[in-house]
């Protein structure tokens, strides 16, 4: 069997978080906030006191034997002016500080933020001085040029599956196709023991035993290309495979848990095996390819952590590659099955009755009718170009409801793609709903129109909202 051909030009890399040195404006703003505001306030009090004491020493100021109000007005204006100045200064300082704090967007891992390294060909801060061998070591074994170990948030266990020719193509791309950016990545701050880079050596030895990709002669060239894209470059398993207690992906390609769904950064990436409930069993290869290219299909929209995967990466794949991925995913046997969908007239009728007459056992029905039906339809069929169907939604049937709950709490947006039309938005409901109402409406969706998945406990919503601070 032929090894898969060299990759299509890789998608542009995620922007490197650039921590520039604080500008003069930020310095001034911060020092003004710390020193200036209290100083003006103190001066203002002192000034007013002194002025008042002097001007009014002999009682109300007089002029030609009459009380003279100009002194009072001047005093009042000076006081108000100083106060307004101090307040504006404080607000400006706060805003500038917030802006400067928003510069870095670290990738959140369960034990703290990890900043992506500068991977532009800048010779000082980036990888400009890397030889091809050093680049391969970093990409596939997680060893930087200076011998430092990279954190496993860099998906090198997945990149280990790449062939030398693919690594070389990536090297050429990063060296000659990317503009150097002379920014030092901010130092990653993790609590002990994760701040000990050597710890990741053991992590690697323990969990990342992952050979090169070897084409499987029992399968077609298309299947092998799909397997190679999913396992290597796409590192789909980094999110879609459950992580163990040590943040390790529980098993790679040979494992029964591979691509059966996992939670990363409080988004649940669903089961991609052939399970007809929560997996891709009812999706056609064309459905999968359209989802990865356009960011949506008739069944679902990409959102949350999947939106940037489509927006920055899979939408640029050619149709051959998309169909290869789809063919490979469709070949995965159903594993870790959960939830069922059985379209039936009886199920639909009972849901419609609950929606229109209300039943005490299904308190989410009323919420659904008031807040969700206008986009997803009372019949759960969705509306074309507005919102996906919820009847039979594999994500809604998943054993893990994290993504559905988070979507209801904070809303989301589908990615911008060349072919996919206007991105769609699901609104946030955290201000309208209590935790138990969110649990009720999610439980209703999981049990309506023939959907059959376990209800959600309010405590699950509370736990998630605490974790994401929403
Ligand atoms: C950064 C994490 C992440 C990566 C990497 C990732 N996904 Fe996802 N994926 C998600 C999340 C979260 C969802 C659930 C939200 C949604 O449906 O868009 C999802 C949803 C999906 C769905 C829809 C499934 C359903 O039942 O609705 C498909 C198909 C999918 N991903 C395929 C892939 C493929 C193929 C790759 C590799 C090219 C990949 N994903 C890489 C996080 C990820
Ligand atoms: C303004 C229209 C709108 C409203 C109102 C709305 N949604 Fe959505 N919903 C969407 C869109 C659009 C998506 C696709 C994800 C995205 O684009 O962020 C979505 C996705 C979903 C999904 C994921 C489906 C899948 O298979 O990927 C669930 C579950 C969901 N909504 C439930 C609800 C619930 C429950 C309510 C009411 C509390 C609700 N929605 C209200 C537009 C809406």
DSSP secondary structure, 412-435, as one string? EEPPP-SSS-SPPEEPP-TTT--H
Is residue 427's pLDDT more than 70?
A: yes
The whole-angstrom separation of Cα 188 and Cα 114 is: 5
Q: How far is CA 202 from CA 160, 337, 438, in A?
A: 17, 33, 41
Q: Is the pLDDT of residue 3 over 50?
A: no
Q: Is the pLDDT of residue 466 over 70?
A: yes
The string of pLDDT tens digits covering residues 259-307 is 999 998 899 999 999 999 999 999 999 999 999 999 999 999 999 999 9
Q: Say how many C-beta atoms besides its own lie within 10 A of residue 173's C-beta.
A: 15
CB 412, CB 349: distance < 8 Å? no
How far is ligand 1, taken at its centre, from the CA of residue 269, in Å? 5
Asked if residue 246 has pLDDT above 90, the reply is no
Residues 229 and 245: their CA atoms lie apart, in Å, by 27
Ligand 1 probe mutation, 258, 261, 270, most atoms within 8 A of CB: 270
Residue 420 near residue 307, CB atoms below 8 Å: no
Of 240, 395, 402, 424, best ligand 1 pocket probe by most atoms within 8 Å of the beta carbon = 240
Half-sphere exposure of 367 (CA within 13 A, CB side): 20
Q: In a mutational test of the pocket of ligand 1, which residue from 10, 234, 239 has the highest number of ligand atoms less than 8 Å from its CB? A: 239
For β-strands 66-67 and 262-264, DSSP reports them as unpaired
Q: Whose CA is nearest to atom 37 of ligand 2?
A: 372
Rounded distance between C-alpha atoms, residue 372 and residue 436, angstroms: 16
Regarding the beta carbon of 305 and ligand 1, being less than 6 Å apart is answered: yes
Task: Establish whether residue 424 lines the binding site of ligand 1, counting it when its CB lies within 6 angstroms of any ligand atom.
Answer: no
Q: Is the CB of 269 under 6 A from ligand 1?
A: yes
Token reading at 252? 């790679």
What is the arithmetic mean of pLDDT over 390-405? 97
C-alpha 108 – ligand 2 centre gap (Å): 25
List, for residues 166-207, the tens digit of each pLDDT value: 666 666 555 554 555 555 544 444 444 344 344 444 444 444
Among the bound ligands, name the one nearest to the CA of residue 439: 2
What pLDDT was estimated at residue 199?
41
Closest residue by Cα to atom 39, ligand 2, is 372
pLDDT at 6 over 50: no
Q: Is the pLDDT of residue 71 over 50?
A: yes
**What is the rounded average pLDDT of the residues 75-95?**
69
Q: What's the 25 CA to ligand 1 centre distance in angstroms?
A: 41
- Mean pLDDT value of segment 5-24: 43
Q: Whose CA is nearest to atom 34 of ligand 1?
A: 236
For residues 248-257, average pLDDT: 62
Mutate to test the pocket of ligand 1, among 269, 279, 308, 321 (most ligand atoms within 8 A of CB): 269
User: Which ligand number lies closest to the CA of residue 155?
Assistant: 1
**Over residues 304-311, mean pLDDT:** 90
Q: Which atom of ligand 2 is nearest to the CA of 429?
A: 38
Q: SS3 for 143? A: strand
Nearest one of 212, 188, 204, 181 to 14, comparing CA atoms: 181
For residues 442 and 435, give the distance between their C-alpha atoms in angstroms, rounded to a whole number. Answer: 11
pLDDT over threshold 60, residue 28: yes
The two three-digit tokens of residue 391, written as one number: 């009847």
Q: Tell me how far CA of residue 152 lies from CA of 113, 185, 226, 306, 463, in angstroms.
A: 12, 17, 24, 20, 26
Higher-scoring residue by pLDDT: 263, 231: 263
Judged on CB neighbours under 10 Å (0-12, 13-18, 19+), 97 is middle
Cα–ligand 1 centroid distance for 3 (angstroms):
26
3-state secondary structure of 205: helix
Q: How far is the CA of 293 from the centre of ligand 1 (A)?
A: 12
C-alpha distances in Å from residue 196, one per residue of 146, 203, 440 = 15, 12, 44
Return the residue whose CA atom lies nearest to atom 42 of ligand 2.
Answer: 426
The percent helix, strand, coil of the chain (3-state, each to 5) is 45, 5, 50
Q: Of 286, 282, 294, whose CA–CA distance to 334 is shortest?
A: 282
Regarding predicted confidence, which is higher, 313 or 67? 313
CA atoms within 13 A on the CB side of 378: 12
Q: Is 301 in the pocket of ligand 2 (CB under 6 A)?
A: yes
**Residue 231 pLDDT:** 81
Q: What is the pLDDT of residue 100?
A: 43
Q: How much distance in Å is there from the Cα of 301 to the middle of ligand 2?
A: 9
Q: What is the 335 CA–ligand 2 centroid distance (Å)?
A: 26
Q: Give the C-alpha distances (Å, rounded to integers) separating 95 from 29, 83, 85, 92, 327.
A: 9, 19, 15, 5, 50
Instruction: Give the per-residue pLDDT at 137.
Output: 76
pLDDT tier at 68, thresholds 50, 70, 90: low
386 CA distance to ligand 2 middle (Å): 9
Give the SS3 label for residue 243.
strand
Query: CA–CA separation, 22 vs 33, rounded Å?
Result: 15
What average pLDDT does this structure show over 135-156?
66
Ligand 2 pocket check for 244: Cβ under 6 Å: no
Quote the mean pLDDT of the chain. Answer: 75
């Amino acid at each position: 069997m032929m090894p898969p051909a060299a990759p299509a030009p890789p998608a542009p890399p995620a922007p490197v978080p650039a921590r520039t040195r604080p500008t003069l404006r930020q310095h001034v703003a911060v020092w003004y906030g710390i020193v200036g505001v209290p100083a003006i306030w103190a001066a203002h009090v002192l000034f007013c006191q002194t002025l008042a004491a002097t001007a009014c020493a002999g009682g109300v100021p007089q002029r030609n034997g009459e009380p003279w109000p100009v002194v009072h007005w001047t005093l009042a204006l000076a006081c108000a002016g100083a106060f307004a100045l101090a307040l504006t200064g404080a607000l400006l300082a706060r805003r500038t500080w917030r802006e400067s704090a928003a510069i870095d967007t670290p990738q959140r891992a369960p034990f703290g933020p990890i900043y992506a390294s500068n991977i532009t060909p800048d010779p000082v801060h980036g990888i400009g001085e890397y030889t091809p061998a050093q680049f391969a070591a970093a990409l596939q074994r997680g060893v930087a040029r200076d011998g430092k170990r990279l954190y496993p948030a860099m998906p090198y266990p997945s990149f280990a599956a790449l062939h030398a020719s693919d690594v070389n193509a990536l090297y050429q791309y990063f060296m000659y196709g990317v503009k150097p950016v002379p920014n030092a990545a901010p130092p990653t701050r993790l609590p002990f023991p994760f701040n000990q880079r050597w710890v990741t050596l053991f992590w690697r030895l323990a969990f990342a035993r992952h050979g090169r990709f070897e084409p499987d002669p029992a399968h077609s060239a298309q299947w092998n290309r799909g397997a190679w894209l999913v396992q290597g470059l796409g590192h789909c398993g980094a999110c879609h495979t459950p992580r163990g207690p040590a943040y390790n992906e529980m098993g790679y390609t040979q494992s029964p848990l591979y691509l059966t769904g996992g939670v990363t950064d409080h988004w649940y990436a669903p089961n991609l095996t052939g399970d007809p409930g929560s997996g891709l069993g009812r999706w056609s290869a064309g459905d999968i390819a359209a989802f990865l290219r356009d960011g949506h299909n008739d069944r679902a929209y990409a959102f949350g952590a999947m939106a940037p995967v489509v927006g920055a990466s899979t939408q640029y794949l050619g149709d051959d590659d998309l169909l290869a991925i789809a063919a490979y995913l469709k070949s995965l046997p159903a594993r870790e099955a959960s939830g069922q969908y059985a379209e039936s007239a009886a199920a639909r009728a009972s849901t419609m009755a609950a929606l229109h007459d209300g039943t005490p056992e299904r308190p989410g029905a009323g919420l659904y009718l008031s807040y969700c039906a206008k986009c997803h339809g009372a019949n759960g069929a969705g509306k074309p170009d507005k919102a996906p169907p919820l009847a039979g939604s594999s994500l809604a049937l998943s054993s893990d409801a994290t993504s559905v709950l988070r979507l209801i709490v904070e809303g989301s947006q589908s990615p911008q793609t060349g072919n996919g039309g206007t991105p769609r938005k699901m609104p946030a409901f955290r201000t309208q709903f209590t935790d138990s109402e969110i649990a009720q409406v999610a439980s209703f969706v999981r049990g309506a129109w023939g959907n059959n998945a376990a209800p959600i406990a309010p405590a699950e919503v509370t736990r998630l909202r605490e974790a994401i601070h929403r």
